[in-house]
Amino acid sequence: MVESCTPTGCGPRAPLTPEQERVLRDHGTERPGSSPLNDEKRDGIYHCAGCGSVLFSSDTKYESGSGWPSFFAPVEGGVETTRDISHGMIRTEVHCANCKGHLGHVFPDGPPPTGERYCMNGLALDFHPAETL
């Protein structure tokens, strides 16, 4: 176990898998359609797999058809963004505000009320169903 900190305190967390390391720490991307979180419909909270910080609520999750878990808004203060000019594109990268882990990208083609699509790598997220909170 490793020590990690969240806005609610510090504690032990399981180490990341090699695939999670590649996404969160090396700015990788998982294959579209590969995350079980694409089909997750239960109420709950999505945390950063790297540090446990709260990132998204199931209330903002929607089916975007992109192949990645998508949300129209993050939890206030949960994420930060930076300009990403890799791979010959100009995009907005989304990362955890706490541990700075790479989560995915945000695009201006989402539904109301924000019009944004936070397209996240499922490997970067840890879902906690409402009944367990």
Domains and CATH numbers, the chain: 2-30+38-132 (2.170.150.20)
pLDDT greater than 60 at residue 12: no
pLDDT digits (tens, 9 = 90+) for 51-77: 999 999 999 999 999 999 999 999 999
pLDDT greater than 50 at residue 8: no
pLDDT digits (tens, 9 = 90+) for 88-97: 889 999 999 9
Catalytic residues: 119
CA 65 to chain centroid: 17
